[in-house]
Chains A and B, each alone.
Chain A
């Protein structure tokens, strides 16, 4: 006997993500989900960005996702910005943040009182692309040391994101790296992708990222 189901495997996750967006629309809180490979510089970008956000009076909270350890949260927390760390270890060592773990973290931040929440997802270009966190916009960070072919290898990631931040451009003089090829590869996957090139190390062009965030704030 065959019993038809036809149910979306991610339905529960997607529904909860939509609830999060409904609430953040009401409170006019912009929720960003930042994804990348491990070591692309997500935390370093936040370290440069957070003082600028504070200086501009943008009330910000951070959600840090890691499989284990609180290393990233420890680096951020000196900045007088509320941080909630999610370790996915107790959820089975997940390689991504699902909306079911993001929701309690957002509540803990009292995100309805904030202008901006940045979720630093688990370093991984496959799984986080799949699971809607409830963020308004997805950002992918790619560093120039990773090679030009990443967008072609991880197309879903580059489809679900609206902004590519290309990091570590200060290393370009030392690398055999073809920037035009990378941007062409990104646009092949997602022709409407916005691209910002920065160096979190030297602070080069981090202001452009700040400006992008300011332009997307809901109030």
Chain B
């Protein structure tokens, strides 16, 4: 259900950036990326975005394209980096629990196309 808030934020950010540019044509595509940690359901996000976008004239035709980013962790002890499929936040090499998540929990509006 957080997809509604996220859709609203995406539309708001795109609208603000659109206003800055003084563009004449409408937005066709919006690219959005989310890490796997965020547990976003793409169908739900699309549904919500398609409702929210109606509030913005320039976005009425816009298609939202969602890219999923893998979870990458780094061990701060042995300095190895991994892509993980399962949520195991131990270093698979040295067993340390001192790890950082390099990628996988961020959500970005990447760009839009006119």
* Alpha-carbon distance A16/B37, docked complex (angstroms): 22
- Interface segment, one of A126-134, A140-148, A173-181, A210-218: A126-134
* Alpha-carbon distance A12/B9, docked complex (angstroms): 9
Contacting pair B109 A7 (CB below 8 A): yes
Tell me if B67 counts as interface (CB < 8 A to partner A).
no
Per-position binary interface string of chain B over residues 1-36, scored 1 when its CB falls under 8 Å from any chain A CB and 0 otherwise? 110111011100110011001010000000010000
Interface centre among B2, B10, B23, B108 (most CB of A within 10 A): B2
* Alpha-carbon distance A92/B48, docked complex (angstroms): 12
Select one of A92, A124, A152, A192 contacting B4, CB under 8 A: A92
- Interface segment, one of A22-30, A54-62, A93-101: A93-101
Which residue of A is nearest B86, CB measured?
A152
Contacting pair B2 A126 (CB below 8 A): yes
- Interface segment, one of A34-42, A71-79, A164-172, A183-191: A183-191
Q: What's the minimum C-beta distance from A174 to chain B, rounded to whole angstroms?
A: 30
Select one of A3, A98, A189 contacting B5, CB under 8 A: A98
Q: What's the minimum C-beta distance from B22 to chain A, rounded to whole angstroms?
A: 12
Contacting pair A126 B10 (CB below 8 A): no
Given A10-B9, A152-B87: A3 and B111 within 8 A (CB)? yes
Contacting pair B110 A5 (CB below 8 A): yes
Contacting pair B108 A130 (CB below 8 A): no
Contacting pair A156 B1 (CB below 8 A): no
Select one of B23, B97, B108 contacting A9, CB under 8 A: B108
Our count of residue pairs bridging A and B at CB distance below 8 angstroms stands at: 94
Contacting pair B111 A159 (CB below 8 A): no
Which residue of A is nearest B30, CB measured?
A5
Q: What's the minimum C-beta distance from A109 to chain B, rounded to whole angstroms?
A: 24
Contacting pair A8 B88 (CB below 8 A): no
Contacting pair B111 A4 (CB below 8 A): yes
Q: What's the minimum C-beta distance from A151 to chain B, rounded to whole angstroms?
A: 8
Contacting pair B113 A191 (CB below 8 A): no
Note all chain B residues with C-beta closer than 8 A to A92. 4-5, 8
Given contacts A3-B114, A92-B8, 10 further A-B contacts (CB under 8 A): A3-B18, A5-B111, A6-B108, A13-B9, A93-B4, A127-B2, A131-B2, A131-B5, A188-B87, A191-B97
Which B residues fall within an 8 A CB radius of A? 1-2, 4-6, 8-10, 13-14, 17-18, 21, 23, 32, 37-39, 87-90, 97, 101, 105-114
Nearest 10 interchain pairs by C-beta: A191-B97, A155-B87, A127-B2, A95-B1, A9-B107, A1-B114, A9-B9, A4-B111, A156-B37, A5-B109
